[in-house]
């Protein structure tokens, strides 16, 4: 049976307890055996590589260096990594080695909660096939990203809240490889209520399944 680990915590504004429970149910419904743990202590366990999928859901926290290296080693050896929004994209702000593995890092969301459009760039990819472009209301993430990622969806900043960003096309959903692992990320999903948006939820579901070993 496929095994997944969700670790959650950090900034309460992202509702990590509620959103991690939703993701746990999502994966369980797919027949995956899920372990959900608060904090990052679980990452220090010697057999972390037994998990086929690791889902970070913790925003702006510190992590023990040995635990971080253990996580990176497990992913490099083949444990899939997948997640969304700040829980994965702003988990360990002071750790560039983690950001290198993810493929990007959050830096801003001009205007905070706003309306914007998500455009599918790879409609042939199974993660986003059949979904199409859609309007979304949330934080529009401005990120520093690895130019080598495979971008599946983007958003374009109109400059209303930060004029110098006008016309900037920013990745919203991506995937890439890290060592033997598959890595998936979606910038969508600020709080639990956003799982009511069918496109957000379906992209995440497919992306996590793709990332699982």
The domains of the chain, with CATH numbers, are 3-212 (3.40.50.880)
Res 143: pLDDT: 98
Rg (Cα) of the chain, in Å, rounded? 16
User: What residues does 38 pair with on adjacent strands?
Assistant: 8
Picking from 112, 79, 93, the residue whose alpha carbon sits closest to that of residue 6 is 79
Res 58: pLDDT: 98
Res 151: pLDDT: 99
Name every residue whose Cβ is closer than 8 Å to that of residue 191 and which is 6 or more positions away in sequence.
Answer: 13, 14, 15, 18, 19
Exposure of 11 in the CB half-sphere (CA atoms within 13 A): 15
Consecutive H or E run containing 184? strand 181-186
pTM for the structure as a whole: 0.98
Res 183: pLDDT: 99
Res 198: pLDDT: 98
For the chain, list residues with pLDDT below 70.
none
Residues 75 and 69: their CA atoms lie apart, in Å, by 10
3-state class percentages of the chain: helix first, strand second, coil last, to nearest 5: 30, 35, 35
Res 128: pLDDT: 98
């Amino acid at each position: 049976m496929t095994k997944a680990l969700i670790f959650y915590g950090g900034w309460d504004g992202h509702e990590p307890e509620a959103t991690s429970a939703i993701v746990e149910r999502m994966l369980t419904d797919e027949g995956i055996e899920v372990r959900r743990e608060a904090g990052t202590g679980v990452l220090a366990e010697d057999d972390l590589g037994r998990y086929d999928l690791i889902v970070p859901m913790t925003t702006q926290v510190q992590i023990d260096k040995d635990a971080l290296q253990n996580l990176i080693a497990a992913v490099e050896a083949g444990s899939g990594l997948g997640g969304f929004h700040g829980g994965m994209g702003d988990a360990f702000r002071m750790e560039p080695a983690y950001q290198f593995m993810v493929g990007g890092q959050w830096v801003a969301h001009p205007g905070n909660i706003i309306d914007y459009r998500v455009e599918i760039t790879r409609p042939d990819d199974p993660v986003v096939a059949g979904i199409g472009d859609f309007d979304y209301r949330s934080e529009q993430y401005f990120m520093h990203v690895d130019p080598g990622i495979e971008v599946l969806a983007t958003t374009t900043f109109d400059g209303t809240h930060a004029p110098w960003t006008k016309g900037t096309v920013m990745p919203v959903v991506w995937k890439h490889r890290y060592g033997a692992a598959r890595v998936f990320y979606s910038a969508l999903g600020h709080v639990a209520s956003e799982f009511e948006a069918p496109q957000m939820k379906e992209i995440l579901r497919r992306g996590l399944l793709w990332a699982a070993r």
